[in-house]
Structure 1
Amino acid sequence: MRKTAAKLLAAAAIATSVATIAAGTAAADPTVTPAAQDIVGVGSDTTQAVLNQFSTDYNAFLTGKGDTTSPRLYSWDSTGTSPLTTKTGATSIARPNGSGAGINALNANTSTTVDFARSSRGPKTGDPASDLFVAYAKDAVSWASTTTGSHAPTNLTTADLTGIYNCTITNWNQITDIPGYTGPNAAIKAFLPQTSSGTRSFFLSALGLSTPGSCVQATTVQENQGTDTILNDADALVPYSAAHYIGQVFKGHSSGSDAAGALSIRSIDGLSPVDGTNNLDVTFSDSAFGRVVYNVVRSADWNAGDAHAAALRAIFGTTGWICKNTTAANDIRSYGFRTLPVGACGSTTHA
């Protein structure tokens, strides 16, 4: 559905006030040290909140049916104390911040330390073919700017964003294709998330870019954190996960620095990433800016035919808990994502 940016901003303002009394995110880092046999993940900022909720609910599901022996599910946030000992007997590692860092940690260690990597991007050239990307939900990436005094319009075209991030457009007065908008003579401050971010990688790829232009701000930001004061600037813009924004602003999953803060998410090519009922817009998430999100496992682990493989498939597979359990589907929607069709959820792909 299409909706005006004015309605989006008004709804966001109301939802932000409601979110202060709504439930926050599920517990962040595990409150216990996971056991050696448990299934433990690291990586993406975009999907850490929903994986935290999966952990809470999957472990309760096992307990509820009297299962005290099956491996539990745990997920470590992308930021926090580092180095990190992920489970009993694990090698201590630097905390992975972002999809790329999570995938690197998966490949640099064994299941005694990391069982899966959260990834908000799909496989790309350079990824080992031994990494299996297991799909489970749909997201989309748009851009955000401050709600107060922003020089940015409420909508930018793909061509505008490409020009901004390849530095052929460096001033707001160069944006001439948005009806009713006359940009001021002010330099654009384009930001990107940290270099290991899957959101960064996906957004640049959606714009047809492999690397940003030299005018893009050298200072990177933690993705999906509008609380960063550097972004509270009339000339700043930054890519933002639509699902994460919806979870933060409309679903009550906002906590500490993991909040939209002063930012509002904006439209691309006249399409809002948020629909009229404050969910992920279907048309936008099926556009070039829509993406599937994944949990990445080792192919050898997935296909081993042993108890570890069975535990991975019981959680992530096409007939596993995430893809088949109603609570998991509700978690996906509650954190702003769209569920995938039967057969697509749990499907695997690799580079």
Structure 2
Amino acid sequence: MRKTAAKLLAAVAIATSVATVATGTAVADPAAGVTPAAQDIVGVGSDTTQAVLNQFSTDYNAFLGASSTLPRLYSWDAIGTSPITTKTGATSIARPNGSGAGISALNANTKTTVDFARSSRGPKAGDPASDLFVAFAKDAVSYATATTGSHAPVDLTKDALTKIYNCTYTNWNQIPGYTGVGGAIKAYLPQTGSGTLSFFLSALGLAAGGTCVQPTAVQENQGTDPLLADADAIVPYSVAHYIGQVYNGHGSGTDQAGAVTVRSIDGIAPIDAAHVLTKTFSDTTFGRVVYNVVREANWNAGDTQATALRAIFGTNGWVCKNATAAADITSYGFRTLPVGACGSTTHA
């Protein structure tokens, strides 16, 4: 066991000294015909971070090399055919759609089925104390409206957003200083279990959306939904995911920005001229750290899979130390975390 751990940690150390490693195009879910092995590190959950985790899996597995017998990394998207059999010998499960659903799947199963849950929210009351949230990047959430013809302002205050989602404001012309044509606001929220849903409401100081919120939930970060092309529609949206979709060529199928554009809050633009998530915006209430959630017992077990988890996600692991991983984080719209913050762990 000690020899296996030494080999894996040595491999990670080598990666930190290599500026260029083999990369490939990320794919959704494990590639067709590929079933992860029982020892592999497999995750489910967040829509927001699924694309960058797909890229991580491609690049980390290339880094290990075809002949390596060490655990590989795989990630299952939030939506797709269901149920899924995540790895060899796993229990078949309903595909988890969102951070909360991924965390629930982590806690309802063992490492024979799920090793980590992607999460775009941090720990909160009600999460099991056995869950360890491992930080890996910085994101932010703003609101999105139709790119053309929207009745919504292109800049709203936090107070106005709160009053939209608690139903104090139900028409655009109720917003102080509004000069548009008005219209009944159609406020949308993402699907139940979404980390973006949980984070956005918390940022507004709300436990839930008001009764005026549209009864149809939308899949988070999918501006292709025809409901969002409405001139009166508004929806929370991951800034990083939007950047990846619109500027860096990572959108595909329904996972695209479509007819919506991410807007400013309190006069602070979330995206700069270089199409990067601005530090100023990510330092506001609407900035968030994104995580991969593991079982603390598995993280500390000292076996091959525990060593692999740390070698991938830990402070000295591939995600936090490898130049290709850093480039992936940036390409998918996120901001890298400072040394020591990436790979740091926290509980509920």
Alignment of 1:96 onto 2:93 = no
Structure-1 separation of matches of 2:341 and 2:283 = 15
Alignment of 1:284 onto 2:281 = yes
Structure-2 separation of matches of 1:48 and 1:62 = 21
* Percent of pairs with identical residues: 78
Q: Is the 8 A contact 1:25 1:255 kept in 2?
A: no
Equivalent of residue 247 in structure 1, options 244, 255, 258: 244
Equivalent of residue 60 in structure 1, options 62, 74, 77: 62
Q: CA deviation at 1:185?
A: 3.6
Q: CA deviation at 1:208?
A: 0.4
Deviations 1:134-162 (A, max 9, x none): 00000000000011210001100001000
Structure-2 separation of matches of 1:208 and 1:86 = 36
Q: CA deviation at 1:67?
A: 5.0
Q: CA deviation at 1:184?
A: 2.6
Q: CA RMSD in A?
A: 1.1
Q: CA deviation at 1:276?
A: 1.9
Alignment of 1:295 onto 2:292 = yes
Residue of structure 2 equivalent to 1:173: 173
Counterpart residue identity of residue 54, structure 1: F
Residue of structure 2 equivalent to 1:204: 201
Residue of structure 2 equivalent to 1:345: 342
Alignment of 1:258 onto 2:259 = no
Secondary structure at 2:263's aligned position in 1? strand
Q: CA deviation at 1:173?
A: 0.6
Structure 1 unmatched ranges of 5 or more: 1-23
Q: Is the 8 A contact 1:199 1:223 kept in 2?
A: yes
Structure-1 separation of matches of 2:186 and 2:25 = 30
Q: CA deviation at 1:306?
A: 1.4
Runs of 4+ displaced beyond 3 Å? none
Structure-1 separation of matches of 2:81 and 2:220 = 18
Counterpart residue identity of residue 333, structure 1: T
Secondary structure at 1:240's aligned position in 2? strand
Q: CA deviation at 1:68?
A: 1.4
Deviations 1:19-40 (A, max 9, x none): xxxxx97200111110000000
Q: CA deviation at 1:49?
A: 0.1
Residue of structure 2 equivalent to 1:326: 323
Counterpart residue identity of residue 198, structure 2: S
Map 1:154-233 → 2, pairs under 5 A: 154-177=154-177, 181-233=178-230
Residue of structure 1 equivalent to 2:114: 114
Structure-2 separation of matches of 1:152 and 1:80 = 32
Per the alignment, do residues 25 and 57 of structure 1 end up closer, same or farther by CA in structure 2, a change over 3 Å counting?
closer
Residue of structure 1 equivalent to 2:13: none
Q: Is the 8 A contact 2:191 2:197 kept in 1?
A: yes
Secondary structure at 1:132's aligned position in 2? strand
Structure-2 separation of matches of 1:169 and 1:26 = 42
Q: Is the 8 A contact 2:25 2:58 kept in 1?
A: no
Structure-2 separation of matches of 1:148 and 1:275 = 20
Q: Is the 8 A contact 1:174 1:183 kept in 2?
A: no
Counterpart residue identity of residue 222, structure 1: Q
Aligned length: 323
Counterpart residue identity of residue 49, structure 1: A
Residue of structure 1 equivalent to 2:84: 84
Residue of structure 2 equivalent to 1:48: 50
Structure 2 unmatched ranges of 5 or more: 1-23
Counterpart residue identity of residue 104, structure 2: N
Counterpart residue identity of residue 126, structure 1: G
Q: Is the 8 A contact 2:82 2:94 kept in 1?
A: yes
Q: Is the 8 A contact 2:151 2:182 kept in 1?
A: no
Counterpart residue identity of residue 58, structure 1: Y
Q: Is the 8 A contact 1:129 1:350 kept in 2?
A: yes
Structure-2 separation of matches of 1:112 and 1:54 = 21
Residue of structure 2 equivalent to 1:9: none
Residue of structure 1 equivalent to 2:130: 130
Structure-2 separation of matches of 1:25 and 1:337 = 18
